[in-house]
Chain A
Amino acid sequence: MNNAAKILAFCIAGACGIAHAQQEAPRPAAATLTQPKGASQPVDARGFIHRWLVLEPVPVPGRLTEAAVQEALKSAALPGDALPSGGETVTINGNSLTWHAHDTLQYNFNLYHFAWSLSKPTSNVLFWAVTTVDSPGEMQNVRLAIGSNAASRWWLNGEPVIALNDDRQSVIDDGVSRRVTLRKGRNVIRAAIINGGGATDFCARFLDENDQPLKGLTVLLP
């Protein structure tokens, strides 16, 4: 009987922070994440995007209702709209946080692995993730399709396209955007994933008009 609620209560009581403070030795790198190799990377055979810039987790209350997610987005807002780069640091609520560039070895990006390997909290946190997708030409009537554990918000080229609330598992194509148009060239995907407790991850790909994955895309870091 594990559950996000118990973990939430556990962490609000301060035990999460204590547990992390006691882990002083450097932890091994996340087994599912690697450093990006090469300037670009195609999406995989099922259309999933593997290359992401992810910011170290921002502590938030971890509640997952729509109102709570909106509040978390405000409190954990990025300092500006400029695209980040790997190794760059930003300050949010007095915390200095670093952007990390990773390729995931799986179809999904395991944020729990990411944060744990950095000795950062995994519960009651918000993760920012950014990547760019290069399209060989304009593509109309496609959809961004994501799964996230737990609540998330997604923007494509600055426009909000997906909003998922509440505690949920990362299920392939759980959240799907309305029909959108991919520009020729670079398209920016930005996401915020909020976790209450337990595992946390996300996956993302584009679907065509027949709900089949788009495979001709290339992923580049901003």
Chain B
Amino acid sequence: MSMQRKAPPTWDKVGKHALFPEAKHDEIARFNFLANLNMHLSSDVIPGVKEAYDGRARPQFFAQHGRDPETRHEVRALMSEDPYYQWWSALRRSTMEMRQQAGRSLVLRQMDKLNKVAASFNEGQDTLQLNDDLPLPNYVTIVDTHCMPGSYHTAEVDGDVSAGANYDSGIFVTTVGQLGSMTDGGGRAISDWLKRDHGDFKPQRILDIGCTIGHNIVPLAQAFPDAEVIAVDVSAPVLRYGHARAKALGVNNITFIQANGESLSDLANESFDLITTSMFLHELSTQSMPKILSEIARLLKPGGLSVHLEQPQYAGRPVFEQFMRDWDTWNNNEPFWGTMHDVDLEAMIGNTGLPESHQFTVAVAAKVDESIFPKTEHDSDSEDFGRAAAWNVFGAWKPTQSTKQESAA
């Protein structure tokens, strides 16, 4: 009997707003192809890499060395010679480049219009604070992050938002809709977890560092509509887009500021209840990460919470899994990814004054967005259309006087 295949949502189902690029028939078709290609690579092609490792590469290594590979670097050296791994890697990289070209061609042809719309939402608004003089850190400019030509920070023309629009249009494709129609699965996962596990926590002031287009801070701002929310990033194009996007979505409690998380001197000590980062720590550097974590500790009120949404650390994971998780470090312009996932994050956060006794890790997953993945009569309640987007939350509470005393006892 033939299995019923799952069709991912077509790209016309992506959540739109006034800033969202308008796609023609064939541009949508191109994204549909790419989403299905991404799905195919992850469901049908990637499993073969483990099979090649277990079936021929690892036995070959064992025959040569009398032991299995002990580090992900040994696995990488071994697998880079394996033809199946070579093909999967080549296809993955090629697919990312196709997605970028498709997103850019969509956005650049209507760039003038998008920039005008953004300006109409942004003009005269003190909730968007840009700074032309802010230097871009080396870890932001040295390569274009995750193979996005021009990264987040390149403006094609004055007042440009195209980097933000390209990013907004493509996540639906690379994640096959698993972050939801509004690409906010990460932020929703944080707010859902907070409401479920810390229902009494009502942050009055929230800070998001490395906000990009604000797709993760918007659901938090919506979950706490009375809170004052600050979102910072070093890159102007995505801030312009993010601010206009939030306004277009009717979310008016966020101020977007162009600033470097390493030094947020305009923000007062102990002035935030909740500080978040989403898929941000791996974009930094060995020099900057402790500085940013220190700033977070400084900015948190006693009893406040810092939350980092990230992929899990490598420690304790099987070397083959580490190797696969490390692919982006070597091949997707994420040069700090591997280093970041090796770091003793508890110790690093502990050094900023948020002790390990006040830290925790919890797994969160994006809830299936039923507006684009409608439940059918065949689905059980636990069906998640394959692996749902999932992350670790690395959390740390800032001690109050009483909790300081408790942890010292």
The answer to whether A and B belong to the same complex is no
- List the interface of chain A (C-beta within 8 A of B): none
